[in-house]
Copies of this chain bind each other. A is one copy, B any other.
């Protein structure tokens, strides 16, 4: 079936699956189904029985939980090439967070049972998952550091840098991938703080802001300002997404 083989091809572009043999990938994709979802759709909520894991072809997805006193904690915001829900393999069979579409998305749903079985029987996949987990872990450490060491304008600058190809020289144009309110909560601040912090960043570094579009003359403008408060070698990398 054509769509099946396209799914296999897509997964092969994702680091965690790229080293697998064709037949292994095909086993995982056997029960795959595509779904298109519009903004604001809830894919699942925390506590739902976990049957599928998901891979994003395009669009943006928000993972979050709600606290007892009614606030919302953002776990992560993901896009093309990212995978989510797969950690339920190591859980009690329920999703530990809710997932909502924040920008219209094309998504592949795959049975967790098939992934689990493949991991248990396929050393290569188990190792690839380990590598992927380790990378994610490192990134979370970085996230914690950012939130404690960087102030609001620096966090925004750092986020912008991670939206670029990080070896670029010369002028760059960045387009914010989702709305500023959500971006604010992604960075752990209020929308009002985001707005003011962006102004401060503009003033401090000379970037130009027009709505969701941001231009800068060179990346150094931002790295000098944002990366001073960080322990990482300059480019704070994000999880390697799809190579596409």
Contact = CB atoms under 8 A, between A and B. Distances in A.
A227 B137 contact: no
A112 to B, nearest CB: 13
Label chain A's interface by main secondary structure. Answer: helix
B71 A149 contact: yes
Nearest to A69: B228
Nearest to A188: B148
A149 B68 contact: no
Contact of A229 (B67, B145, B149): B67
Given A90-B134, A144-B144, A149 B73 contact: yes
Interface in A136-181: 136-138, 140-141, 143-145, 147-149
Interface string A89-130: 111000010000000000000000000000110010011011
Copies of the protein in its oligomer: 2
Interface residues of A, number: 42
Nearest to A140: B140
B138 A87 contact: yes
B137 A67 contact: no
A171 to B, nearest CB: 25
A195 interface: no
A135 interface: yes
Given A67-B229, A119-B127, A119-B130, A147 B144 contact: yes
A218 interface: no
Interface in A35-72: 46, 65-69, 71
Given A67-B149, A145-B73, A228-B69, A137 B140 contact: yes
Interface of A: 46, 65-69, 71, 73, 75, 87, 89-91, 96, 119-120, 123, 126-127, 129-131, 133-138, 140-141, 143-145, 147-149, 188, 227-231
22 contacts: A66-B231, A67-B145, A67-B230, A68-B228, A68-B229, A71-B149, A71-B229, A75-B141, A87-B137, A89-B134, A90-B130, A90-B135, A123-B123, A126-B130, A133-B134, A133-B137, A136-B137, A137-B140, A140-B140, A140-B144, A144-B144, A148-B188
